[in-house]
Structure 1
């Protein structure tokens, strides 16, 4: 180890006070008043010591200006030597010197060719290290707080801009109920995600509003339907009940009154039977709208019904204008009932002697057939046109009921049958110029007429 090794070896072999100056000594050695030359190697907050083979601490004289070296137990020193032998070395040790100063100690063996068995112990005060650590921690916390404050100040406006629309949406949702479904969210808040959410809520509210409206209309329609059906059934039952009372009072013994009463009761019973049958047809169409279809020639079907229709018309003039070879997938009985109901409605509203009913069948573009039943009756006023297909609706209630006994279900049944076939029905009428009911049905094909 050169001159330093010579100093360490001779210092601990000679008597105290012996000068340890090697023959070639030169600075950095300091000469004391006694003429002894000492090295000046360490700072005031450091310590150095040597541990001999007996684990005794030797404090060298050149460390007098530094800190006193802490002394560990013999067991600790032995453990440190074993760690060095096995290369399982701890990084450091913390100990206190005789003045109570906490030091960070590190160790290194100092063996050599002359049989040294020393352990070098070097220490440094932990106070400066702790001061540096606390200073760094303080700087880190301060910078973190500054960054947090700057972030809050920077994003406060963004947070407010984001949360304000959400608060408005929450307030709107709280105000919604079954009677206020017309409220809508603002979709121009400037944030794409919130705008899309508002659009989704608006779509949901529109569907809910439509659902509630349909339910309300269906409930009102059902209530009106029940009231009308009850009224229609009550009328013939009241008539039959009155005729029975008359018969019980003695009219049964008079043939003329008996026959009149029985005839009237038979007529009321037929009307009530027809009403119940129409109600059953409507219930069936509402419950199971699917029908069994087969390929049908529409013009041939109407031609087969011609004798029956002319008989129903009586003295009225009936005109047929049918395009040939029009085929469609239909329920034959259903289409017959459609034609019969429309023709019967025309008969009801035309003069028995001067009435004219025109039935036409033609082909429209896009494989559609148009069936038109037109009469020359008084027509339908504009205020009644939107309601002609409603159940139990009659524009001239007393005249139709007293003369024909209708209940206002024929056109409603006709509309249901046409819609089941995927078709459409509409009415075109001008007061004083009759009415035309137009049925459009999808067809398979229409062959060109032969010449």
Structure 2
């Protein structure tokens, strides 16, 4: 299956698309809820203001009369409060039964109802004593009735807010919810203390809100569908760099670590991933290269060690064959053969000891560090050094200095360097200088061994401290060297936290310098 075209539930494209749609849908739902809340408040508030304006223009005095006793003027008595046959809403200002001629005239089919009254609205009057009168019970909507405490709250709000009070939602006797507004029947503080309430059904307003929400939901659904259809190809194109990274990873193996991903693909996150992946490939390549180099060094080491051991073993084996044949009859020949065998056995023993020492130094060497005088160590070794030098000129230039070191290991470094110098200088005209100096406080102590030998070419200096490496194999073979002395010296110096280096020019001699930390420094194991 082509992974670039996969679009399953576990696909990144699928999850990004699904989560984006869910996020946008959630945002649209929140917008819809907010739209419902704000639209409902706006429509209800707007309708309430319209009702309040209608109440402000209504002839309340014509409805209630000067005394405000609408029930008495309408002839409402008893518990049924049936209105009398009188027109209390005539614009001529005459009262029921007071016409100048003829019987009372009525201009409304329901005597006692105001002419401005709308059939789709409710109207009621609440007296100061809390008596409730429904003015629209017969030809309009039944008026909702609030509790006495609510009417008192409305009256207090009207009186404190200059005749204005917030609208309320209440249900009438038929269970229909109405939006109700209120007005005092006179100026605040000077009226009769009654409240006129007017209400309309909220169902038409709710229908408008529901219609708007349906339109919004339909448009949102269509927008989500269109957005998903357009977003999918854009998402596929956006993830092309990621697919490129995936393909490159799939092609990467141990034999193909040199290829790199492009570091600039137009996306910051993918570019960072590419840079990190390229860095990982580089580290893996270096690690594999180091492993290959280590294997090559190990192979060369085994070959060199085998070669170094084979030569003395072959020599010993040859002398043993001669002795076993009985061809050596003279004591001088027997003594010479035994002497050669002894020398070769010592050479084997020395080689094995050096190899064991290098193995120990490679495995986190444990040194017995003590505070010692480096110049004092050289003074102790002076008779041995002059014996090794023979007729060569040996000069010591020693500054008093203390170091934290393993004294036996430092002596071995000095002997290795001095012995190497003796091998490469003339027996009679050779000159060797051994010096100790400290450049300054905080600087490492420098132990230098210089000679006036033939020098070392630059191509040999780079590999001089490698194991079994010899710049002149014939000459070092003559003196029995195996090419391990300088390698051991470097390992001991590094184990002390120091270093070793060489400075040489052909024909001008060589100088080996060992740098060791001052006595205030003590490396940890």
TM-score, scaled to structure 2: 0.58
Aligned residue in 1 for 2:454: 378
Distance 1:161 1:291, change over 3 A: farther
CA distance in 2, matches of 1:245, 1:339: 40
Q: Within the alignment, does 1:419 sit opposite 2:494 as a pair?
A: yes
Q: Is the 8 A contact 1:251 1:258 kept in 2?
A: no
- 2:229 and 2:503 map into 1 onto residues whose CA distance is 71
**Aligned: 1:288 with 2:364:** yes
1:360 CA displacement:
1.0
Gaps of 5+ in 1: 6-23, 30-40, 43-106, 110-128, 446-451
The alpha-carbon deviation at position 332 of structure 1 amounts to 0.2
Shift of 1:236: 0.8
Q: Residue 354 of structure 1 aligns to a residue in which SS?
A: coil
Report whether the alignment pairs 1:234 with 2:310: yes
For 2:414, the equivalent position in structure 1 comes to: 339
Secondary structure in structure 2 of the residue aligned to 1:367: coil
Task: Give the length in aligned residue pairs.
Answer: 344
Give the SS at the match of 2:462: helix
Residue pairs, 1:24-43, within 5 angstroms: none
Corresponding residue number in structure 2 for 1:76: none
How many angstroms apart in 2 are the aligned matches of 1:147 and 1:349? Answer: 88
Q: How does 1:356-395 map to 2 (within 5 A)?
A: 356-365=431-440, 366-395=442-471
| Alignment-derived partner of residue 344 in structure 2 | 268
Residues in 2 aligned to 1:152 and 1:416: alpha-carbon distance in whole angstroms: 69
Work out the CA distance in 2 between the residues paired with 1:295 and 1:251: 59
Which residue, out of 448, 472, 479, partners 1:396?
472
Return the offset for 1:135. 11
Separation in structure 1 between the aligned mates of residue 418 and residue 222 of structure 2, nearest angstrom: 90
> Secondary structure of 2:438's partner?
strand
1:146 maps to 223
Which structure has the highest strand share of the two? 1
- 1:102-251 alignment to 2 at 5 Å? 140-141=217-218, 143-150=220-227, 152-153=229-230, 156-157=233-234, 159-160=235-236, 162-251=238-327
Question: How do residues 422-433 of structure 1 correspond to structure 2 at under 5 angstroms?
Answer: 422-433=497-508
Counterpart of 2:59 in structure 1 is none
Give the distance between the partners of 1:167 and 1:237, measured in 2 at CA. 63
C-alpha displacement of 1:199: 2.8
Cα distance between partner residues in 2 of 1:145 and 1:262:
106
Cα distance between partner residues in 1 of 2:492 and 2:360: 11
Q: 1:359-412: per-residue Cα shift (whole Å, max 9, x none)?
A: 1111124321111111111111121111110000111112211x2111110000
Query: Paired residue for 1:72?
Result: none
1:415 Cα deviation (Å)?
0.3
Normalised by the size of structure 1, how large is the TM-score?
Answer: 0.67
C-alpha separation in 2, matches of 1:369 and 1:133 = 92
Supply the distance in 1 between the matched residues of 2:109 and 2:373 (Cα, whole angstroms): 129
Matched, 1:410 2:485: yes
Structure 2 distance, partners of 1:431, 1:227, is 30
Task: Indicate how the Cα distance of structure 1 residues 297 and 193 shifts in structure 2: closer, same or farther if over 3 A, else same.
Answer: same
Deviates more, 1:206-215 or 1:136-145: 136-145
**Does 1:444 find its partner at 2:519?**
yes
What is the CA–CA distance in structure 2 between the aligned matches of 1:203 and 1:218, rounded to whole Å? 22
Alpha-carbon separation, structure 1, partners of 2:405 and 2:475: 35
- Aligned-pair CA distance for 1:216: 1.3
SS in 1 for 2:239: helix
Q: 2 CA distance for matches of 1:302 and 1:136?
A: 100
Deviation sequence 1:28-57 (CA, Å, 0-9, x none):
89xxxxxxxxxxx99xxxxxxxxxxxxxxx
Measured in 2, the distance between the counterparts of 1:390 and 1:134 equals: 90
Matches of 2:109 and 2:232, distance apart in 1: 63
- 1:331 and 1:350 map into 2 onto residues whose CA distance is 29
Q: Structure 1 residue 188: deviation in Å?
A: 2.7
User: Matched residues in 2 for 1:303 and 1:133: separation?
Assistant: 107
SS in 1 for 2:514: strand
Which residue number in structure 1 is paired with residue 196 of structure 2?
Answer: none
Shift, 1:198, TM fit: 2.6
Task: Answer whether contact 1:367 1:444 (CA < 8 A) is retained.
Answer: no
